[in-house]
Structure 1
Amino acid sequence: MAYTAMSGSGTTASDDPLQIAVWRLRSRGCWTDAAALLAPHAASAAPALQRASLLVERCLFTGVGWADAEDALRAAEASARDDDERGAAACERGQLAYASTVLGVRDRADEARAALGRAAALLAPDAAGRPLLDFRRGLVAEHLADSAQAARAAYHRAHAGALAHGDTLLTSFTWRHLAALALRDGELAEARQGFTESLRIREELGYLIGTAPALAALADTEPEPEATRLRTEAARLFRLLGGVPTWLADQLAPPAPAA
């Protein structure tokens, strides 16, 4: 099962040194350091939400830091002043509950659905945060409700919205998850195209923490010796980043010898 998900838009088109520094740290899996840069500004809603999203993402990739994420999320919820901000905070609340459930830490599936439903009620159809919400509702449909049909529809909405809003990193995630569903249905060419696009975007953005999973996913659609080359590169990056994302270890483990 692929547990990857993301928080926030990923890259920044501005020359804001703070945002550039946050992105560079986040893209290398240094979520705590990135959140620390935002801490002095966290009395305001946008930095508080961004800080919470970083720590939620850390939980999903590492399986640790739940208390820190909860604290940051409560601060973001308290600082929200309008429906967009409340909806974005609810979306992060849903993602944290989803991560806890899918990683087997604690079953919070009902909380995830309720929070994402609350976000849907608060965010306008054309809100910038809507594509991310659609993507996360797809994750819940796929991995908690085991409904591939609902997940595919949500991922398609997220993909179209991400393209419309110029959210390139989210597009990488929608490509990846649509490709995984295609692979499950035996559509090898479609899956290979989606995984290839996802990997290309991550490499272009320098999203290092997400590159190993993208390499491993593409390997599942390629013949030998290309499949082994991709898995070897994924394993190298996985070790370089200290074994993160933690859930990738099982996918990269060599097959057991025949008895």
Structure 2
Amino acid sequence: MADTAMRNSGLPEPRGPRGGDDPPDSPCGQDDPLGRAVWRLRSRACWEDAAALLAPHAAEGPEAAQRRTAVLIEQCMYTGRGWGAAEDALRSAEALAGDDEERGAAACERGHLAYASTLLSVRDRADEARSALGRAAALLGPQSPTRPLLDFRRGLIAQHLSENPGDATAAFERAHAGATARGQRLLLSFTWRHVAAMAEQDGRLSEARYGFTESLRIREELGYLVGIAPALVSLAAVTEDENEAARLRREASRLVRLLGGVPTWLARRLGGD
């Protein structure tokens, strides 16, 4: 914990989602001390510490087991490491799942882990990712709170693995509508970001600026510190004022340094600027 405190000195205190704002990919509810502690660590890129707090509860409870899995998979996405721990946590969550909702949520996490492995060129698991998310779709009912997250992850597959922008946009829009209806604001920050990315790809820069601005605003409001730097860089890429774009990139670099070089892919990119 001492290294964590040193690494995070100078960062603002994360506030986190409250009540209905807590999305299915959040590690714990925010209305209890454990949930607040897990959110604080997760938002500051301290995933191993967050997973350790959840471990005693994850040993017997499927919900906590899936939340712990989500924390560790997020670490893989942001750092490119921790794959073995995430896989072990996922297997435990799958073993504890007792109904279709829990099995569907676990399948959604398996699809996300396989997608991350493929995207980051660790191991090609694209077929596993598609199969797992298809299984999740069959298990989760239309009113499942996990459904918007599933739609979002299917959009990621279409965007980055299948290179099908039409399917990706449709999936992101479904996820966006679901996250809006359920008040899942952290997920909403991700759907705004990817809807904006599709608009940027199509040359619709004013729409892209709006979406990236909304994504950044939500992350700042929630105190999702580890996600703010990527949002700043995305907004900078579509900002017309070069001085403002440079300011956004400088702020992103500062946050990445304060978080100990996380996200690692962004640290490499900013280091080359």
TM-score under structure 1 length normalisation? 0.93
Higher relative contact order (CA 8 A, sep 6+): 2
Q: What is the rounded CA distance, in whole Å, between the counterparts of 1:245 and 1:8 in structure 2?
A: 22
The alignment yields a C-alpha RMSD, in angstroms, of 1.3
Q: Secondary structure at the residue paired with 2:189? A: helix
% of aligned pairs identical?
67
Contact 2:192–2:214 (CA<8 Å) still a contact in 1? yes
1:147-168 superposed Cα distances (whole Å, 9 cap, x missing partner):
1110000000000000111100
Alignment match, 1:27? 43
Alignment match, 1:248? 266
Residue 269 of structure 2 aligns with an amino acid whose one-letter code is Q
Question: 1:107-126 alignment to 2 at 5 Å?
Answer: 107-126=124-143
Alignment match, 2:84? 67
Q: What is the rounded CA distance, in whole Å, between the counterparts of 2:269 and 2:198 in structure 1?
A: 17
Contact 2:179–2:185 (CA<8 Å) still a contact in 1? yes
1:8-64 superposed Cα distances (whole Å, 9 cap, x missing partner):
443876521101111111111111110110111111110011001100111111000
Gaps of 5+ in 1: 1-6
Gaps of 5+ in 2: 1-22
Alignment match, 2:108? 91
1:211-242 superposed Cα distances (whole Å, 9 cap, x missing partner):
00000000011121000000000011111111
Contact 1:141–1:151 (CA<8 Å) still a contact in 2? yes
Q: What is the rounded CA distance, in whole Å, between the counterparts of 2:24 and 2:138 in structure 1?
A: 19
Is 1:236 the counterpart of 2:269 in the alignment? Answer: no
1:115-149 superposed Cα distances (whole Å, 9 cap, x missing partner):
00000000001100000000000000000000111
Residue 250 of structure 2 aligns with an amino acid whose one-letter code is T
Contact 2:28–2:64 (CA<8 Å) still a contact in 1? no
Alignment match, 1:50? 67
Report the Cα offset of residue 254 of structure 1: 4.2
Q: What is the rounded CA distance, in whole Å, between the counterparts of 1:15 and 1:145 in structure 2?
A: 39
Aligned residue pairs total 249
Contact 2:27–2:67 (CA<8 Å) still a contact in 1? no
Contact 1:216–1:251 (CA<8 Å) still a contact in 2? no
Residue 30 of structure 1 aligns with an amino acid whose one-letter code is C
Flag as ranges the 4+ runs of structure 1 deviating above 4 A. 11-14
Alignment match, 2:5? none
Alignment match, 1:10? 26
Alignment match, 1:179? 196
Contact 1:87–1:123 (CA<8 Å) still a contact in 2? yes
Q: What is the rounded CA distance, in whole Å, between the counterparts of 1:156 and 1:116 in structure 2?
A: 17
Q: What is the rounded CA distance, in whole Å, between the counterparts of 2:183 and 2:132 in structure 1?
A: 25
Distance 1:200 1:248, change over 3 A: same
Q: Secondary structure at the residue paired with 2:242? A: coil
